[in-house]
Amino acid sequence: MAGEKEWVSDAERPEGDGKLQYHIRCREGEIAETVLMPGDPDRVAKISSHWDEFSEKSSYREHVVHTGKFRGMDISACSTGAGGPSTSNALEELAAIGGKTFIRVGTTAALQKEIELGDLIISSGSVRFDGTSENYVHLGYPAVAHYEVVLALIEACERLNYRYHVGITATTASFFCGQNRPGHDGFRQTWHETRHKDLVAAKVLNYEQEAATLLTLASLFGLKAGAISVAIANRATDEFVYGGVDKCVLAGNEAAHIFHEWNCQRAAKGKKHWHPSI
Active site (annotated) includes residue 235: yes
Active site (annotated) includes residue 181: yes
Tell me which of 27, 196, 235, 260 is the catalytic residue: 235
* Residue 103 parent element (H or E): strand 101-110
Tell me which of 23, 104, 146, 260 is the catalytic residue: 23
Q: What is the CA radius of gyration of the chain?
A: 18
Tell me which of 50, 61, 71, 181 is the catalytic residue: 181
What are the φ and ψ backbone dihedral angles of 48, each rounded to 5 degrees? -70, -15
Tell me which of 33, 62, 93, 210 is the catalytic residue: 93
Q: Residue 100: helix, strand or coil by DSSP?
A: coil
Tell me the sheet residues that pair with 59.
Answer: 64
Query: How far apart, in Å, are the Cα atoms of 116 and each of 133, 153, 162, 170, 237?
Result: 30, 19, 12, 18, 9
Burial of 29 (0-12, 13-18, 19+ CB in 10 A): exposed
Residues marked active site are found at: 23, 93, 181, 235
